[in-house]
């Protein structure tokens, strides 16, 4: 019950009225400055959003602004505070989601934050330069070596995870029942979360968890598009708290939405998601199965003769495929995470011309025959082939880097897998 209490004092307009307002919003799209705008616009991202390290403080915001092509260069130092204030006001006025008084109350703070010391006050700035972050980043590369310690319980754990993955699943076709949000909006949201994860150097697992929370939440609750990003933000916040050693604080999550939502709103949504998911937050993800298949005690994903570099490349390519599949909810929600992981490894091996694509060791470790994976592999292959022209490019950008062996630059294998 308490879940729904969080909604009071939000607004006193009724749903019908708000819908009209929302339509009005679409017309004033230009002036909007957040991903909220992007979600209804479905504008594709300009390629090559690579940021230099010094830009990182700002890029979460800047990226959003690029899309919305409003004059929100307020983060640039040359802008006069006066001008900024005006623009912020305008944007808030168009943002009818929240009651006006609240927006006005926040104004002075916001302007100060934006024009004066964004790099200083931005929690991101602190995080980027912080030494604390460094060891984690290093250790993340080795994360999937750590399953080895569990070798003793490996079979039990795998059996358990295969059981657990069936327990909390999103409905494959939930989008059909969503009255306002669409699959492409979901894609934009996930794409944006990929960027958020990159900017905050979050564990990849956090992203997978957040997307699974979003899908499960949307399976049960209908959400208006104006609130979709809020659901995504709060889901990422929860996932970070579950998974990260040093989760970013709530201010940063409000900040990355370009202050479209207040801290308080993010916290309310957090509470609502926790309630709807009834705290079932530990479901195994595609990534956890990727780790098991490739780095379990059986090392089943690899041949003994492979170099470490080759092994990593297979792993990263499989991760790239899996993250692409994260962006497109359909058709992948129908597949179990273990199937998606196994299919991604098979396709990675196929793309890199390792034969056989599905070794006896992989059959043994996963319990899957290649034939059981084919329909998922075909979907992944189509997604891979379409990736270059996909409107969302964050995953490709991410995996272009050296850190991931530039795996997204690989071209799809010309032959079908079998």
Partner 1 sequence: MTDPACMHVKSEAMDIKVLHKSSTFSSFTSGSHKIGNWFATLSERRRKSSMKASKSLTLGVVHENPRFGSDGESEEASGASDEVTSPVKLRPKNRRLSEQDINKRLSLPADLHLPESFIAKQNVSPTIDGPLSRATRRQSLSEIGFGRMETYTKLGKLGQGTYATVFKGKSRLTDNLVALKEIRLEHEEGAPCTAIREVSLLKELRHANIVTLHDIVHTEKSLTLVFEYLEKDLKQYMDDCGNILSLNNVKLFLFQLLRGLAYCHRRRILHRDLKPQNLLINERGELKLADFGLARAKSVPTKTYSNEVVTLWYRPPDVLLGSTEYSTQIDMWGVGCIFYEMACGRPLFPGSTVEEELRLIFRALGSPPADAWGGMAASYDIPHYQPAPLLSWAPRLDADAVDLLTKFLCYEAKKRVSAADAMKHTYFRSLGPAVHKLPDVVSIFTVPGIQLNKDPGYRASGFPKSGVSGRSRRQSMLL
Nearest CB to partner 1, comparing residues 11 and 372 = 11
Is there binding between residue 411 and partner 1 (CB under 8 A)?
Answer: no
Q: Is the dihedral of CA 108, 109, 111, 116 positive or negative?
A: positive
Q: Minimal distance in Å, beta carbon 20 to partner 1?
A: 13
416 with 381: CB under 8 angstroms? yes
Among the listed residues 205, 215, 259, 328, the single contact to partner 1 using CB under 8 A:
205
Q: Minimal distance in Å, beta carbon 140 to partner 1?
A: 8
Q: Minimal distance in Å, beta carbon 227 to partner 1?
A: 5
Nearest to 303 by CA among 358, 343, 347: 358
d(CA 369, CA 358) in angstroms, rounded, equals 8
Nearest to 175 by CA among 189, 164, 162: 189
Is there binding between residue 7 and partner 1 (CB under 8 A)?
Answer: yes
Nearest CB to partner 1, comparing residues 147 and 404 = 147
Among the listed residues 247, 301, 329, 337, the single contact to partner 1 using CB under 8 A:
247
Q: Minimal distance in Å, beta carbon 355 to partner 1?
A: 30
Q: Could you say which residues in the range 74-103 bind partner 1, by CB under 8 A?
A: 97
Is there binding between residue 404 and partner 1 (CB under 8 A)?
Answer: no
Nearest CB to partner 1, comparing residues 268 and 396 = 268
Nearest to 307 by CA among 380, 405, 406: 405
**CA distances to 32, 75, 129 from 57, in Å:** 21, 10, 10
Q: Minimal distance in Å, beta carbon 133 to partner 1?
A: 12
Is there binding between residue 17 and partner 1 (CB under 8 A)?
Answer: no
Q: Is the dihedral of CA 69, 72, 73, 78 positive or negative?
A: positive
Is there binding between residue 263 and partner 1 (CB under 8 A)?
Answer: yes
Nearest to 122 by CA among 55, 73, 50: 55
Nearest CB to partner 1, comparing residues 2 and 409 = 2
Question: Residue 267, class by beta-carbon neighbours within 10 Å (0-12 exposed, 13-18 middle, 19+ buried)?
Answer: middle
Q: Which stretches of 45-179 are DSSP H helices?
A: 56-68, 81-94, 100-115, 118-121, 123-129, 133-142, 154-164, 174-177
Is there binding between residue 34 and partner 1 (CB under 8 A)?
Answer: no
Q: Minimal distance in Å, beta carbon 244 to partner 1?
A: 8
Q: Could you say which residues in the range 160-179 bind partner 1, by CB under 8 A?
A: 160-161, 164, 166-169, 171, 174, 177-178
Q: Segment contacting partner 1 (CB under 8 A): 1-9, 70-78, 312-320, 340-348?
A: 1-9
**Cis omega before residue 306 (within 30°)?**
no
Number of residues that bind partner 1 (CB under 8 A): 78
Among the listed residues 93, 183, 245, 418, the single contact to partner 1 using CB under 8 A:
245
Q: Segment contacting partner 1 (CB under 8 A): 29-37, 122-130, 280-288, 328-336?
A: 280-288
374 with 417: CB under 8 angstroms? yes
Is there binding between residue 4 and partner 1 (CB under 8 A)?
Answer: yes
d(CA 30, CA 205) in angstroms, rounded, equals 35
Q: Minimal distance in Å, beta carbon 311 to partner 1?
A: 17
Is there binding between residue 303 and partner 1 (CB under 8 A)?
Answer: no
Q: What is the dihedral of CA 312, 317, 322, 328, to 10 degrees?
A: 160
Task: Using DSSP, state whether 379 is helix, strand or coil.
Answer: helix
Q: Could you say which residues in the range 281-300 bind partner 1, by CB under 8 A?
A: 281-282, 288, 291
63 with 195: CB under 8 angstroms? yes
Nearest CB to partner 1, comparing residues 289 and 332 = 289
Nearest CB to partner 1, comparing residues 42 and 222 = 222
Nearest to 322 by CA among 379, 278, 363: 379
216 with 256: CB under 8 angstroms? no
Q: Could you say which residues in the range 121-160 bind partner 1, by CB under 8 A?
A: 135-136, 139-140, 143-144, 146-150, 152-153, 156-157, 160
319 with 290: CB under 8 angstroms? yes
Q: Could you say which residues in the range 325-384 bind partner 1, by CB under 8 A?
A: none
């Amino acid at each position: 019950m308490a879940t729904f209490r969080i909604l009071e004092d939000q607004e006193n307009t009724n749903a019908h009225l708000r819908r009209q307002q929302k339509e009005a919003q679409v017309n004033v799209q230009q002036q909007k400055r957040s991903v909220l705008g992007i979600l209804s616009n479905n504008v594709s991202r300009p390629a090559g959003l690579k940021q230099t390290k010094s830009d990182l403080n700002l890029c979460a915001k800047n990226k959003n602004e690029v899309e919305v092509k409003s004059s929100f260069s307020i983060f640039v130092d040359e802008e006069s505070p006066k001008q900024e204030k005006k623009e912020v006001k305008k944007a808030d006025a168009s943002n009818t989601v929240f009651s006006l008084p609240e927006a006005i109350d926040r104004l002075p703070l916001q302007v100060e934050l934006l024009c004066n010391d964004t790099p200083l006050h931005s929690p991101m700035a602190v995080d980027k330069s912080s030494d604390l972050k460094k060891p984690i980043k290093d250790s993340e590369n080795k994360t999937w070596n750590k399953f080895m310690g569990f070798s003793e319980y490996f079979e039990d754990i795998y059996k358990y995870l295969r059981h657990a993955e069936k327990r909390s699943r999103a409905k494959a076709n939930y989008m059909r029942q969503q009255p306002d949000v669409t699959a492409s909006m979901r894609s934009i949201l996930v794409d944006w979360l990929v960027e958020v994860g990159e900017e905050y150097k979050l564990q990849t697992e956090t992203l997978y968890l957040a997307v699974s929370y979003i899908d499960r939440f949307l399976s049960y609750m209908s959400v208006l598009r104006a609130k979709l990003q809020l659901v995504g933000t709060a889901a990422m916040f929860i996932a970070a708290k579950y998974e990260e050693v040093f989760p970013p604080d709530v201010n940063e999550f409000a900040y990355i939405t370009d202050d479209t939502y207040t801290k308080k709103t993010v916290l309310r949504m957090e509470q609502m998601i926790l309630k709807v998911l009834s705290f079932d937050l530990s479901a195994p993800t595609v990534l956890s199965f990727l780790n098991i298949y490739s780095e379990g005690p059986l090392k089943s994903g690899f041949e003994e003769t492979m170099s470490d570099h080759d092994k990593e490349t297979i792993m990263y390519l499989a991760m790239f495929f899996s993250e692409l599949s994260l962006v497109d909810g359909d058709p992948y929600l129908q597949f179990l995470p273990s199937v998606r992981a196994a299919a991604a490894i098979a396709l990675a091996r196929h793309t890199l011309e390792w034969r056989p694509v599905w070794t006896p060791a992989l059959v043994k470790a996963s319990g899957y025959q290649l034939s059981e994976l084919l329909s998922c592999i075909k979907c992944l292959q189509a997604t891979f082939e379409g990736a270059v022209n996909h409107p969302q490019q964050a995953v490709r950008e991410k995996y272009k880097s050296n850190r991931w062996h530039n795996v997204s630059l690989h071209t799809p294998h010309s032959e079908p897998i079998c």
